[in-house]
Amino acid sequence: MKDLLMFFVHFILLSLILTVSGDEIVYGQLSETVVLPCTFNPNSNEIIIHWQRSNGQSSDIIVHSYYHSKDHLEKQNVTYQNRTSLFYSDFPKGNASLELRHLRLEDEGVYKCYMGKEYNVNLKIIYPLNKVEGDEAVLQCDIPHSLNVKNIRVTWSVAGKKPFACVDNISEMLENSRFSWVSVNNHQTNASIILKNLKISDSEDYVCNISSHDYMQLRVTSLTVAKVTTDKMENRYRYEFISLPIIAAICIGIGIGIYCFRRTRKGMNGNNQSSDSTEMDQLNS
């Protein structure tokens, strides 16, 4: 019971941290490398850097520690093993930033840099989505079950621009007719949208923003639309090469069919034997 209470207290605190305080938000692309920024006063005697991550529970996850002039990774959580480093040569400039490599979805969250004072960095993972021209893309956005759907607002926008789609209690707006909601009457649980007949110019970062008075969650999908691959082109040409002789064969077949039909009709009419023989001669020659 006490644990549960603590959990809720932390949950609320975390939600407040996510919204109220001006945490720096850093975006990282799945499988790529990201730098979580942090600075310290370069005049301090000994350099002590602790990077930890909020767990939503009482104990934080240890991401990276540095003191006594070297890394101390004995207590580092195994999920971060071999994926972190500091910019050691930039210490004299007061740079305590953390490099995190091979990003995973589970890395998303609030990171704390302890340098005497505490500094929060909110890491968001960008979901890559690769498509080719003419495909359709489902841009996913799930509303967490824990949220009261009556009070939330969901917006879709291209990063840095004003929203082109929005749903909340009172209104529903979809400005761009090339998009459609996944579930027309059920935005309450699934705010994903579909973009059909993709063009190269649709390659953008799409942001889904789920918010209420004390909560905000962002999900960024980085859509890349490529030209139809040469593989597919080759396939298409191959089809054409295969189909050309087939079409030719069918045409010749029809031609012979018509010829035979005309010949038998002429034969039945019982005249023009000579013209038939000339046609035969032409065929023989």
Ligand X SMILES: *[C@@H]1O[C@H](CO)[C@@H](O)[C@H](O)[C@H]1NC(C)=O
Nearest distance, CB of residue 115 and ligand X, angstroms: 12
Among 15, 77, 203, 222, binds ligand X (CB under 6 A): 77
Closest CA to 103 of 68, 86, 127, 120: 127
| Stretch of residues binding ligand X (CB under 6 A), selected from 78-86, 128-136, 172-180, 269-277 | 78-86
Closest CA to 112 of 160, 59, 156, 70: 59
Q: Which two tokens stand for residue 240?
A: 């054409």
d(CA 181, CA 139): 10
The residue among 24 and 234 lying less far from ligand X, judged by its C-beta, is 24
Residue 190 binds to ligand X (criterion: CB under 6 A) = yes
Nearest distance, CB of residue 210 and ligand X, angstroms: 8
The residue among 214 and 234 lying less far from ligand X, judged by its C-beta, is 214
Residue 87 binds to ligand X (criterion: CB under 6 A) = yes
* Contact predicate 51/63, CB 8 Å: yes
Q: Which two tokens stand for residue 248?
A: 């030719």
Nearest distance, CB of residue 80 and ligand X, angstroms: 8
In angstroms, the Cα distances linking 33 to 83, 97, 98, 100, 267 are 9, 13, 10, 6, 84
Residue 218 binds to ligand X (criterion: CB under 6 A) = yes
d(CA 189, CA 167): 12
Residue 129 binds to ligand X (criterion: CB under 6 A) = no
The residue among 62 and 132 lying less far from ligand X, judged by its C-beta, is 62
The residue among 190 and 276 lying less far from ligand X, judged by its C-beta, is 190
Residue 138 binds to ligand X (criterion: CB under 6 A) = yes
Contacts 24+ apart (CB under 8 A), 190-193: 190/141, 190/142, 190/143, 191/141, 191/142, 191/143, 191/154, 191/156, 191/167, 192/138, 192/139, 192/140, 192/141, 192/142, 193/138, 193/139, 193/141, 193/156, 193/165
Residue 169 binds to ligand X (criterion: CB under 6 A) = yes
Nearest distance, CB of residue 136 and ligand X, angstroms: 11
Three-class DSSP labels, 82-103: CCEEECHHHHHHCECCEEECCC
* Chain residues 18-57 in contact with ligand X, contact rule CB under 6 A: 35, 37, 39
The residue among 169 and 264 lying less far from ligand X, judged by its C-beta, is 169
| Stretch of residues binding ligand X (CB under 6 A), selected from 126-134, 149-157, 233-241, 256-264 | 149-157
Rg of the chain in Å (alpha carbons)? 33
The residue among 169 and 278 lying less far from ligand X, judged by its C-beta, is 169
Among 15, 29, 97, 222, binds ligand X (CB under 6 A): 97
Q: Which residues bind ligand X (CB under 6 A)?
A: 35, 37, 39, 61, 77-79, 81-82, 87, 90, 95, 97, 106, 138, 140, 142, 150-151, 153, 155, 169-170, 182, 190, 192, 209, 211, 216, 218
